[in-house]
């Protein structure tokens, strides 16, 4: 039996895990990074963010080519070679995963391929292809992530019923695709498959798609979905699925009626569940909550003093950048620094068409909590840059504290919103006021000007829109 000693072992090499491993190594720690996949990068890189964004970019080309007719440029209908598209997407993943492996090597981070299992509070067993390896560690960082949830009722063992993992593999372009769940994963993949030519029916159990985001921001996204999907059904409940030859028979309750329909494929995107099975957590003092996420404090400590947990497995919002920030905080805490996740602003981006992004306090949240805020909006129809991009379907919004004019939250819907929200996060983190945002020169002509103009609109003097004078008391 081989046993290695290590200061830090990181279990899981997703964006949380590899960030933690690299940062700890940069801080002079001896680190082992364990992952069950040969390809590093976790779900984000292999089965999540990166492949979906590669496919979304490809589908955007299809859309833009189609819409170029308005500018007098017409193309023939696109021919889509699925194998080449998949190959290109996989090559992106391959390059990035290879990059992570190289970075690990250069830092002296030892990578072990195999499933990690805790034998105790300071002992990890790794099942590698060469056999068992035991790692005696001082501190472990658990970053094993989550996987798509598949309710037992839908799990027929039929490959036509997919989760995001299979959908990102694009085996074929289904004629009729049912997407169960109108959250961000369903919406992003729906956008991809709609562009590739599938007829999409989306079924969401709640009264609205993209629940949680402000309704004024989701409006453009809904409009797109309604125009490009065959149907968007809210308050719809899938009762049963069954295999019927090479189709899936779906029984659904919607609008007071029970429908029975046939689909070529079904994508189930109803949420994600923590990967806590076969981890040996029960051999440590770490505890999990009722949903199976590992309980941590604001410094990512579990109940076991030698074990930290970060990313999806630690619950909260399941986003790669949240995992990466937690990785840094955990490593700093291990190194004795006074870091915490408390009050950290975590932006959310939905890569739909148009993109949707927000950070800090949302208007919906402020209303629910009875917080007095002032919301200012700027329509992209007044943005020169949006017009030249032929994308006036955007809006920028600031959620402000009326007393101090402090920016409490930022919401953006529109082309490239995901890239624009970075400035919003900076403003919220820095405690900037609307005046600060208005005073900063933004380059022309860019979409970033919309942030400045929104802030100016708060003071009633946005250059490219006219705001009627209001009673100052109303502010």
Pick 242 or 371: Cβ nearer other proteins: 371
Q: Is 298 in the site for other proteins (CB under 8 A)?
A: no
Burial 250-273 (b: 16+ CB within 10 A, else e): bebbbeeeeeeeebbbbbbbbebb
Q: CB of 337: closest distance to other proteins in angstroms?
A: 7
Q: Does 286 bind other proteins (CB under 8 A)?
A: no
For 25, list phi and psi in degrees, rounded to 5: -65, -40
Under the criterion CB under 8 A, does residue 81 sit at the interface with other proteins?
no
- Closer residue to other proteins (CB): 252 or 407: 407
> Residue 154 forms beta bridges with which residues?
none
Residue 83, interface with other proteins (CB under 8 A)? no
What's phi and psi for 120, nearest 5 deg? Answer: -175, -175
246 binds other proteins (CB under 8 A): no
27 sits near other proteins (criterion: CB under 8 A): no
Shorter beta-carbon distance to other proteins: residue 46 or 299: 299
Which of 254, 321, 444, 464 is an active site residue?
Answer: 444
Which parts of 315-374 interact with other proteins (CB under 8 A)? Answer: 337-340, 342-344, 360-361, 366, 369, 371-373
Subset of 143-182 contacting other proteins (CB under 8 A): none
β-bridge pairing 247-254 and 237-244:
antiparallel
Query: Does the protein bind other proteins through residue 121 (CB under 8 A)?
Result: no
Cα 472 from Cα 17, distance rounded (Å): 50
User: Under rule CB under 8 A, which residues in 433-452 are in contact with other proteins?
Assistant: 433, 435-436
Q: How far is the CB of 431 from other proteins (least distance, A)?
A: 2
* Pick 71 or 338: Cβ nearer other proteins: 338
Q: How far is the CB of 11 from other proteins (least distance, A)?
A: 25
* Residue among 150, 429, 460, 464 that touches other proteins (CB under 8 A): 429
- Residue 246 CA to its chain's centroid (Å): 32
Q: How far is the CB of 407 from other proteins (least distance, A)?
A: 9
- From CA 227, how far away is CA 127, in angstroms rounded? 50
Residues 6+ apart with CB under 8 A from 279: 11, 116, 117, 118, 142, 144
In the list 430, 444, 463, 466, the residue contacting other proteins (rule: CB under 8 A) is: 430
For the record, the structure tokens of 401 come out as 């504290």
Nearer to other proteins, 148 or 360 (CB): 360
In the bound complex, what is the minimum distance in angstroms from residue 432's beta carbon to other proteins?
7
Q: Please report, as residue ranges, which positions from 179 to 218 form the binding site for other proteins (by CB under 8 A).
A: none
Report the C-alpha gap between 393 and 413 in whole angstroms. Answer: 8
Measure the N-to-C terminal CA separation of the chain; round to a whole number of Å.
Answer: 71
Dump the DSSP string for 101-166: HHHHHHHTPEEEESEEEEEETTEEEEEETTEEEEEEEEEEEE---EEE---GGG--S-TTEE-HHH
Radius of gyration of the chain (CA): 24
406 binds other proteins (CB under 8 A): yes
CB of 307 to other proteins, least distance (A): 15
The distance of closest approach from Cβ of residue 406 to other proteins in the complex, given in angstroms and rounded to an integer, is 5
What torsion, rounded to 10 degrees, do the Cα atoms 51, 54, 58, 63 define? 90
* CB-CB contact of 235 with 254 (8 Å): yes
Select the residue interacting with other proteins from 1, 71, 403, 474 (CB under 8 A): 403
Residue 404 as a binder of other proteins (CB under 8 A): the answer is yes
Can 444 be counted among the known catalytic residues? yes
Q: Cα dist. 79→84, 194, 195, 196, 307 in Å?
A: 11, 15, 12, 10, 51
Total interface residues for other proteins by CB under 8 A: 27
Nearest-angstrom CA–CA distance, 249 and 156: 12
Rule CB under 8 A: is residue 408 a binding residue for other proteins? yes
| Minimum gap (Å) between residue 430 Cβ and other proteins | 5
User: Is residue 376 part of the contact set for other proteins (CB under 8 A)?
Assistant: no
Helix axes 82-107, 15-26, angle to 10 degrees: 20
CB distance 346 to 326 below 8 Å: no
Query: Contact region for other proteins (CB under 8 A) — 14-22, 114-122, 274-282, 404-412?
Result: 404-412
How far apart are the C-alpha atoms of 330 and 341, rounded to whole Å? 9
Q: Judged by CB under 8 A, does residue 432 bind other proteins?
A: yes
237 binds other proteins (CB under 8 A): no
CB of 127 to other proteins, least distance (A): 33
Question: Sign of the CA dihedral 177, 37, 316, 365?
Answer: negative
Catalytic residues: 444
Residue ranges that bind other proteins, judged by CB under 8 A: 337-340, 342-344, 360-361, 366, 369, 371-373, 401, 403-406, 408, 429-433, 435-436
């Amino acid at each position: 039996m081989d046993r290695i000693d290590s200061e830090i072992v990181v279990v899981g090499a997703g964006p949380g895990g590899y960030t933690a491993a690299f940062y700890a190594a940069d801080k002079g720690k001896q680190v082992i990074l364990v992952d069950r996949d040969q390809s590093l990068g976790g779900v984000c890189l292999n089965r999540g963010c990166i492949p979906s964004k590669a496919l979304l970019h490809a589908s955007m080309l299809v859309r833009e080519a189609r819409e170029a007719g308005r500018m007098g440029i017409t193309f023939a209908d696109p021919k889509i070679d699925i194998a080449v598209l998949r190959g290109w997407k996989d090559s992106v993943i391959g390059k990035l995963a290879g990059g992570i492996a190289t970075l690990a090597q250069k830092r002296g981070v030892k990578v072990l391929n195999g499933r990690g299992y805790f034998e105790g509070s300071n002992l990890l067993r790794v099942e590698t292809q060469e056999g068992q390896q035991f790692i005696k560690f001082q501190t472990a960082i658990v970053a094993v992530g989550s996987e798509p949830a598949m309710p037992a009722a839908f799990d027929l063992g039929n490959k036509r019923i997919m989760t995001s993992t299979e959908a990102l593999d694009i085996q074929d372009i289904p004629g009729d695709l049912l997407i169960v769940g109108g959250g961000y994963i369903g919406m992003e993949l729906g956008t991809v498959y709609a562009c590739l030519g599938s007829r999409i029916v989306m079924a969401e159990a709640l009264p609205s798609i993209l629940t949680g985001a402000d309704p004024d921001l989701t409006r453009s996204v809904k409009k797109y979905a309604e125009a490009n999907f065959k149907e968007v059904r809210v308050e719809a409940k899938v009762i049963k699925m069954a295999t019927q030859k090479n189709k899936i028979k779906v029984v659904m309750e919607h609008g007071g009626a029970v429908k029975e329909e046939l689909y070529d494929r079904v994508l189930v995107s109803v949420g994600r569940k923590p990967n806590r099975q076969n981890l040996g957590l029960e051999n440590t003092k770490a505890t999990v909550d009722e949903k199976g996420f590992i309980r941590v404090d604001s410094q990512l400590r579990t109940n076991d003093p030698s074990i930290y947990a970060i990313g999806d497995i630690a619950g909260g919002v399941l986003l790669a950048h949240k995992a990466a920030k937690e990785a840094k905080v955990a490593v700093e805490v291990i190194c004795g620094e006074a870091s915490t996740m408390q009050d950290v602003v975590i932006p959310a981006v939905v890569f739909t068409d148009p993109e949707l992004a927000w950070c800090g306090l949302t208007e919906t949240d402020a209303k629910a909590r009875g917080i007095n805020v002032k919301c200012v909006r700027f329509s992209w129809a007044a943005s020169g840059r949006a017009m030249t991009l032929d994308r006036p379907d955007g809006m920028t919004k600031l959620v402000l504290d009326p007393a101090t004019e402090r920016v409490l939250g930022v919401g953006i819907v529109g082309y490239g919103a995901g890239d624009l929200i970075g400035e919003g996060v900076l403003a919220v983190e820095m405690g900037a006021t609307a005046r600060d945002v208005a005073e900063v020169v933004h380059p022309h002509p860019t979409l970033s000007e919309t942030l400045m103009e929104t802030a100016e609109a708060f003071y009633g003097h946005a250059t490219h829109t006219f705001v009627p004078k209001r009673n100052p008391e109303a502010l």
